[in-house]
Structure 1
Amino acid sequence: MRLPEVERGEDLRSRSLIRLISAVSRMRLPDAARVAFYHRNFVAPALGSWTQAAMRGTSAWTVGERELMAAMVAKWNSCTFCIGAHRATAVHGIGAETVDACLSDYRSAPIPEPLRATLAFLETMTLRPAELGPADAAAAMAVGVTREQLADAAAIGALFNIITRYSDALGFAIPSDAEFGKAARMLLKRGYG
């Protein structure tokens, strides 16, 4: 469902900011950013803080690895917008070949075993949450994933299992690859907060 208030902004301040940012960036401000201006006191502060902490806070995972995790959760949830956005951002830290190989089949992708085991944990968490248990955590830790890394990954999984549904529920417009790339550079520079 596409809300006109998300598209244009619900008040004069929001409309002005959306227009200004779009003009300066020379592209349509992606809907993920537009929703931050929608009901500013409802979703934006909590979701923005949580996303910033999970994706840019202190972690043993690199920014690229965390962006890949978000893209994978988006893939499992069939969220075209989030796949594109987080793929474009992950590419800057991991490289396009590796990210695309993971999105195709992370089990055979050229990634370190701890990341592969973490993606397996996130896949179960996303697609079969009732099956997720201590054995899944133990399998990841057996190949070198720390408790902290698993907790960080679980936070990303939980967050993007919400965000992907939010994106689809609000009918986010899908930018071009070039626009995703431009937005990724802004996201890497400014973060999620």
Structure 2
Amino acid sequence: MRLDILNRGYHPGSKLLFALIRLFSGHPVPDAAKLVFYRPDFYGARAKVFIHEAMRGPSAWTVADRELMAAYVSKVHESAFCIAAHTATARQAYQDGPLVAAVLADVESAPVPEPLRATLRMLGKLTAEGKLGAEDVREVLSAGVSRQQVKDALAVCVAFNTTARLADAFGFEVLSPEGFEAGARYLLKRGYR
């Protein structure tokens, strides 16, 4: 059920910004972006900082890797909006649509390095089951992933498990493929601020 608050309930300045974005981009503002403007003191301001740091902050994982993690977590969660948004962004970041499609179809046979595969496997388990054990983390570490990379990947997982749940709870509108491609270009250029 789509909540009407995503269609209205913004300050005049935010409404003007949304109109300008639509005018210049030719695409509506995605609901994920609108949500951070609704009650920014409660959710939006903190979410933008956390997600930007997880996705664009310093990390041994590339931006493309982290976008792929976001897409994979969204796929496990089955969030249509987040799958489409982060698949488009990962495709553009890697400049390799078939690679992204292969990972989302079957992480075990996808042509990715074992450290990334092990990490995606861990994130998928955490998303599907809601918990991890010490053995799950040891398996990722033994695949050559550093402790810091595990922390960085878990931050991506938290960000997109939260976002996917909000997308489903608020009934985020699924954009056109062109809208998601435009959003991906924006995310790759400006990040999540």
Same fold (TM over 0.5): yes
Q: How does 1:41-56 map to 2 (within 5 A)?
A: 41-56=41-56
Taking the aligned partners of 2:55 and 2:26, their CA distance within structure 1 comes to: 26
Deviation per residue, 1:149-174 (Å, 9 max, x gap): 01100111112111100011111000
Deviation per residue, 1:122-150 (Å, 9 max, x gap): 011111234x1111111111111000101
Cα drift, residue 23 of structure 1 = 0.8
Deviates further, 57-66 or 86-95: 86-95
How well do the aligned residues superpose, as a CA RMSD in angstroms? 1.1
TM-score normalised per structure 1: 0.96
- 1:9–1:15 Cα contact (<8 Å) kept: no
Deviates further, 28-37 or 107-116: 28-37
Q: How does 1:151-166 map to 2 (within 5 A)?
A: 151-166=151-166
**Number of matched pairs:** 192
Taking the aligned partners of 1:9 and 1:172, their CA distance within structure 2 comes to: 16
- Counterpart position of 1:169: 169
Taking the aligned partners of 2:171 and 2:122, their CA distance within structure 1 comes to: 28
Q: Given residue 42 of structure 2, which amino acid in structure 1 is its aligned partner?
A: F
| Structure 1, unpaired ranges of 5+ | none
Deviation per residue, 1:85-132 (Å, 9 max, x gap): 0000001222100000011011100000000000111011111234x1
Deviation per residue, 1:23-75 (Å, 9 max, x gap): 11111111111112111211111110000000000000000110000111101
- 1:70–1:156 Cα contact (<8 Å) kept: yes
- Counterpart position of 1:123: 124
- Residue 43 of structure 1 aligns to a residue whose secondary structure is helix
Identity over aligned residues, as a percent?
A: 45
TM-score normalised per structure 2: 0.96
- 2:31–2:173 Cα contact (<8 Å) kept: yes
| Structure 2, unpaired ranges of 5+ | none
